[in-house]
Amino acid sequence: MKLNFALKIFAVAAVSLTVTSCSKSNNYKDSSRGTGWKIDGKNGGFKANTDYTEQATGPGLVFVEGGTFTMGKVQDDVMHDWNNSPNQQHVQSFYIDETEVTNVMYLEYLDWLKKVFPPTDENYRNIYTGALPDTLVWRNRLGFNETMTENYLRHPAFANYPVVGVSWLQAVEFSDWRSNRVNELILEEKGYTARGARFDVEAGSTFDTETYLNAPTLAYGGSDSLARGGRASESRMKRNDSTDIFIQQKDGVLLPKYRLPTEAEWEYAALGLTELRSYNVYRGRKKYPWNGSYTRSSSRRTRGDHLANFKQSDGDYGGIAGWSDDNADITAEVKSYEPNDFGIYDMAGNVSEWVADVYRPIVDDEFNDFNYYRGNVYTKNAIDEEGKVKVVTVDSIVYDTLANGKIVARDLPGEILQVPVDEDETYLRTQFSQSDNRNFRDGDRRSTRYFESFDDEDEETDGKQMYNAPKHNVTKDSTGMVRKFDETNNRTTLINDEVRVYKGGSWRDRAYWLDPAQRRFLPQGMATDDIGFRCAMSRVGSKSKSAKSAR
């Protein structure tokens, strides 16, 4: 009996040891947790990137760990705008520019456009001119500002000052261009494209990230010598390994897009909520990007110094010359003031900044309190009759005429043509039912549950819509601009689907506007001398940034 019992104990221990050793030895790093098959890509099998650590930090960006915060204004609303009522929101982790986009950064963009799409060529003239900032924003009928008009953008003295005179549309185009140039350099440095390919381009063969991922043979205008000419691709071809000549999304090499931050992201980043142990911080009592309720430093080392560039009072844009001065009358060079707790500079003062959102006086937190954003217009890649994506060519560029008469390109050559999503994507979905969602639940009668429109013409003119802004029609031909103004008498607002939010106070604003919760709006095609922008990038993967960050 004792022998049998001992044998049973030994057998159980052996089985336990075998199971334990198997679980320790198989960590599923190189094999599938689902099938047990190898995922190293050998012998024609599936290949997965098992060495990926985490997202690299793109040029110019800093990491912002997401979390919950009180979005909106909890201080006195002396302007009685009632457009920023406090509500609790959660944003995912993301990256945002350390500083505003500067003149020299934007000049690099203009220089690239000028080389690739020379304005001397009539076919491309509007691409370059459509990207030029409006330097005339500095002019004032009763002020001598010609020095800024003539020098602010291009003179090296202003190289590291924030770019202004840029519309929301131009800021979006810059962000798209920046995404492509950063990923283009990554591919070249890792040896997947020909060295110097980013310089050896013509108007019809520009690199676009989405084109490379969706139709890599069409990248660089279909030039194999550029798209396949890298060291890594050549070595794989020598090994007859043609499956991974092109980088794919699953490789984790390319960065997500640069874009404008959402309003929620911008406000969260501006507040600098690196810790939420303070009740007042969590409940939204933090008034500025820095701690405290004053605009001057209270620390012993810098006591009395200004913490931002803003208008002190009537006729006082910088203070009395000397110690009391904030060292700026117009904009200031980036990093002139201390950063907030996230390490981000000038989230209050200097220039106000465009964010991605379409403006509405309400933030509908009852419908969504996670990554809030108003402005979604869902599109998809256009597909031709052969089932291939349609890429914009030099002969198929579409131009739009803005309300101010400026002509801008809707898409650049090399990009994939986008079309609205249709019923194939929306059928039986519960989370969205149409392509354009900019005016979803925005408070007007069209947003009510039982609204039905039987007469579109009556709907536009009966004056019962809340957001029935004037609809002007501006076109441009060989004779100049043709303006057809909306002369309807019952228009009640300037708010429509083309007005965008801008945040943060500027050098022209009083301290009241330095509160990150403040929000104003401007048509997306207009520009001023006190609005700039900075870019953001989504974070993929873990919420927190580990110590093994790839740089």
Q: How confident is the model at residue 232 (pLDDT cuts 50, 70, 90)?
A: low
How many CB atoms neighbour CB 240 within 10 A? 7
Residue 496 pLDDT more than 60?
A: yes
Give burial (CB, 10 Å; 0-12/13-18/19+) of 71: buried
Residue 219 pLDDT more than 70?
A: yes
Q: Each residue of 479-488: pLDDT tens digit? A: 777 888 888 8
Give the model's pLDDT for residue 493: 87
Closest CA to 363 of 440, 271, 431: 440
Residue 465 pLDDT more than 50?
A: yes
Give the model's pLDDT for residue 402: 84
Give the model's pLDDT for residue 237: 55
Q: What is the dihedral of CA 195, 211, 353, 286, to 10 degrees?
A: -100
Instruction: Assess contact for 531 and 353: CB atoms under 8 A.
Output: yes
Interatomic CA distance for residues 245 and 227, integer angstroms:
9
Residue 278 pLDDT more than 50?
A: no
Q: Per the structure block, which two tokens stand in for 180? A: 């492509």
Give the model's pLDDT for residue 41: 81
Residue 462 pLDDT more than 60?
A: no
Instruction: Assess contact for 515 and 73: CB atoms under 8 A.
Output: yes
Phi-psi region of 347 (alpha: psi -120 to 50; beta: other; left: phi over 0): alpha
Instruction: Assess contact for 107 and 154: CB atoms under 8 A.
Output: yes
Give the model's pLDDT for residue 336: 93
**Which has the minimum average pLDDT: 17-21, 184-188, 281-285, 455-459?**
17-21
Work out whether strand 352-358 and strand 531-532 pair parallel, antiparallel, or are unpaired: parallel
Identify the residue with better confidence: 158 or 5. Answer: 158
Identify the residue with better confidence: 17 or 390. Answer: 390
Q: Each residue of 389-439: pLDDT tens digit? A: 999 988 888 888 888 888 888 889 899 999 999 999 999 999 999 999 999
Prediction pTM value: 0.89
Interatomic CA distance for residues 49 and 233, integer angstroms:
17
Q: How confident is the model at residue 458 (pLDDT cuts 50, 70, 90)?
A: very low
Identify the residue with better confidence: 330 or 319. Answer: 330
Give the model's pLDDT for residue 42: 83
Q: Residues 190, 191, 192, CA angle at the centre, nearest 5°?
A: 100
Residues 14-24, mean pLDDT to the nearest whole number: 45
Give the model's pLDDT for residue 451: 60
Q: Which amino acid belongs to residue 399?
A: Y
Instruction: Assess contact for 508 and 235: CB atoms under 8 A.
Output: no
Give the model's pLDDT for residue 239: 53
Interatomic CA distance for residues 253 and 270, integer angstroms:
29
